């Protein structure tokens, strides 16, 4: 006989990682269908192993460095909901929030969010959010407000020349590289997140951009079509950083690259549309309590779990 006692919300355990990922996939695929978005034929999202190959390293990294990590467990012991956040400096960031479509709209999301993104914690708070009505409604009542929409601009990379006085240097995995990037991130998004920077340095190529001897920007290049984060102290340097990443991708023979671009980044939007980049229909929003983030000079971390 099925056990229909209400799900229990409890701290996540190591063994919950794959089941939580399963809930993530079910909920996001149902959301995509509700939105009427057709997945490009090249995506293998219907294959759990392929989806995990791309996302697994990120989920493991965020899981091991999470601030709050909660699951909802049904009466028969299945994970049916998952919410996780990370604390980086003063920023509490919600990274995952998903409930199995079979049990949505019964209050589970509410309970998970209250634990993983508790009111008053931060002091600053941010979320890379889908446009799911239930998610938006819960988020906008949790102390964050709309900052910008984020578009994935996509293209087959082609070599391009952009006039610039910047000099690019490859960044190796080192304390100096982490420090350089963290310094620029602090100026642009308001916080340092060395633990993530170190992780991304192990995942993607990276460059620093110098004007004279002064580091004024950085860029993480493509792997598996994904790029970012990319940040510059001045918006005018964003096109040169984008061009540098696209050129490297073109030379590596990449079939496709995505730049997850805040629409507030007008330099990037004009540059990318001017080059014929396509707008992916899966849009997300940045919600935050702190409107001082300078997203006009920022490209997000590809996969959209963190800023
Ligand atoms: C977002 C999600 C996790 C919420 O889980 P849930 O269990 O359905 O949420 P709950 O039932 O606890 O709460 C939903 C709330 O949204 C409200 N809501 C739902 N649709 C709404 C709408 N169109 N307008 C306003 N409020 C709405 C409900 O009234 C409820 O609020 P209340 O409890 O104060 O009445 C779940 O719907 C989900 O997995 N969605 C798809 C994946 C996704 O996009 N996740 C967000 C990732 S950033």
User: pLDDT tens-digit profile of 50-61?
Assistant: 889 999 999 999
Assess whether 35 and 138 both reside in one domain. yes
User: Candidates 113, 119, 134: which one to mutate for ligand 1, based on the most atoms within 8 Å of Cβ?
Assistant: 134
Assess whether 12 and 31 both reside in one domain. yes
Q: Counting atoms of ligand 1 from 1, which one is nearest the CA of 28?
A: 42
Segment 128-145, tens digit of pLDDT:
999 999 999 999 999 999
Is pLDDT of 233 > 70?
yes
28 CB near ligand 1 (under 6 Å) = yes
CB 245 within 8 A of CB 252: no
Q: Is 306 domain-assigned?
A: no
Q: What is the pLDDT of residue 2?
A: 61
**Total count of domains within the chain:** 2
Q: How many angstroms does the Cα of residue 109 sit away from the middle of ligand 1?
A: 6
259 CB near ligand 1 (under 6 Å) = no
Q: How many angstroms does the Cα of residue 197 sit away from the middle of ligand 1?
A: 32
Q: Write the residue with the smallest CA distance to atom 24 of ligand 1.
A: 133
Please give the Cα distance from 157 to 294 (Å, whole number).
27
Assess whether 166 and 116 both reside in one domain. no
For 195, other C-beta atoms within 10 Å of its C-beta total: 14
Q: What is the pLDDT of residue 38?
A: 77
Q: How many angstroms does the Cα of residue 106 sit away from the middle of ligand 1?
A: 9
Is pLDDT of 198 > 70?
yes
DSSP state, residue 231: E
Q: Is 214 domain-assigned?
A: yes
Assess whether 124 and 164 both reside in one domain. no
Q: How many angstroms does the Cα of residue 222 sit away from the middle of ligand 1?
A: 33
Q: Is 200 domain-assigned?
A: yes
Q: How many angstroms does the Cα of residue 277 sit away from the middle of ligand 1?
A: 33
Q: Counting atoms of ligand 1 from 1, which one is nearest the CA of 130?
A: 48
Q: What is the pTM of this model?
A: 0.96
CA angle, 302 as apex, 239 and 113 as ends, to 5°?
Answer: 130
* Boundary (domain end) residue, out of 143, 173, 205: 143
CB 125 within 8 A of CB 90: no
Assess whether 222 and 162 both reside in one domain. yes
Q: Is 285 domain-assigned?
A: no
* Boundary (domain end) residue, out of 118, 143, 168: 143
Q: Report the CATH number that the domain containing residue 104 is assigned in CATH.
A: 3.40.630.30
Q: How many angstroms does the Cα of residue 98 sit away from the middle of ligand 1?
A: 9
CB 207 within 8 A of CB 218: yes
Segment 262-282, tens digit of pLDDT:
999 999 999 999 999 999 999
Q: What is the pLDDT of residue 40?
A: 58
Domain region containing 162 = 153-278+295-299
* Spatial CA neighbour of 249 closest among 235, 268, 228, 276: 228
Q: What is the pLDDT of residue 50?
A: 84
Q: Counting atoms of ligand 1 from 1, which one is nearest the CA of 107?
A: 12
């Amino acid at each position: 006989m099925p056990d229909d006692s209400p799900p229990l919300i409890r701290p996540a355990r190591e063994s919950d990682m794959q089941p939580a990922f399963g809930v993530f996939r079910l909920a996001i695929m149902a959301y995509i269908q509700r939105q009427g978005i057709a997945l490009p034929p090249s995506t293998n999202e219907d294959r759990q192993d392929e989806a995990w190959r791309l996302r697994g390293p990120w989920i493991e990294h965020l899981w091991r460095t999470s601030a709050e990590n909660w699951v909802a467990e049904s009466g028969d012991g299945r994970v049916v909901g998952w919410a996780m956040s990370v604390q980086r400096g003063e920023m509490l960031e919600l990274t995952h929030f998903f409930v199995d479509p079979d049990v949505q709209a019964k209050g589970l999301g509410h309970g998970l969010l209250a634990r993983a993104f508790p009111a008053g914690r931060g002091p600053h708070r941010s979320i890379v959010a889908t446009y799911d009505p239930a998610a938006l409604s819960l988020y906008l009542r949790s102390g964050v407000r709309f900052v910008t929409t984020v578009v994935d601009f996509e293209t087959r990379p082609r070599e391009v020349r952009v006039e610039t006085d910047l000099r690019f240097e490859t960044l190796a995995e080192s304390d100096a590289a982490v420090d350089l990037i963290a310094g620029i991130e602090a100026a642009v998004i308001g916080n340092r997140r060395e633990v993530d920077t170190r992780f991304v340095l192990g995942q993607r190529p990276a460059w620093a951009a110098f004007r004279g001897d002064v580091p004024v920007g950085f860029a993480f290049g493509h792997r598996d079509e994904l790029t970012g984060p990319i940040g510059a102290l001045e918006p005018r340097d964003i096109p040169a950083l984008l061009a540098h990443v696209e050129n490297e991708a073109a030379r590596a023979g990449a079939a496709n690259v995505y730049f997850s671009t805040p629409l507030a980044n007008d330099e990037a939007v004009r540059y990318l549309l001017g080059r014929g980049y396509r707008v992916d229909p899966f849009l997300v929003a940045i919600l935050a309590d702190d409107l001082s983030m300078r997203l006009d000079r920022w490209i997000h971390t590809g996969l959209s779990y963190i800023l």
